[in-house]
Amino acid sequence: MGRPADAIPLLKVAEDIYSSSDAYPVEYLRDTQYMLATAYFLKGEYELCRDYAEPLYPILETDDWINYMLGVSYLDETIYDLEKARFYLLRAQELGMELSPEILKAIGE
């Protein structure tokens, strides 16, 4: 609903619940962590976005949005890594994500 700051505390509660019990399918925890990565991304908290998105990447490597979030996150000065940003953003593009001219320029394309 365009209010990631409001979503984060509730998603953290869900993460705690889903990670503390085997009563829930592991997909619930993964979905919650994906939503946390997205919320942090939308807030511009790129380190936290990366911290949630990277562990999910092996199972979501064909997801254009997770590639985009990681790529843009690695362009941020706090965790700048052009090689990683380029990898993830070009992968997002391969998967159908349209990259802005500014992003393409930032990765040397």
Angle at 52 between CA 72 and CA 37, to 5 degrees: 60
Domain definitions of the chain by residue range: 4-106
pLDDT digits (tens, 9 = 90+) for 42-77: 999 999 999 999 999 999 999 999 999 999 999 999
Answer whether residue 2 shows pLDDT above 80.
no
Which pLDDT score is estimated for 3?
84
Q: Convert the pLDDT of each residue in 77-101 to its tens digit.
A: 999 999 999 999 999 999 999 999 9
Question: For position 4, what pLDDT does the model report?
Answer: 84
DSSP 3-40: -HHHHHHHHHHHHHHHHS-TTS-HHHHHHHHHHHHHHH
- The span from the CA of 79 to the CA of 47, in Å, is 7
Q: Which fold has domain 4-106?
A: 1.25.40
The pLDDT score that the predictor gives to residue 12 is 96
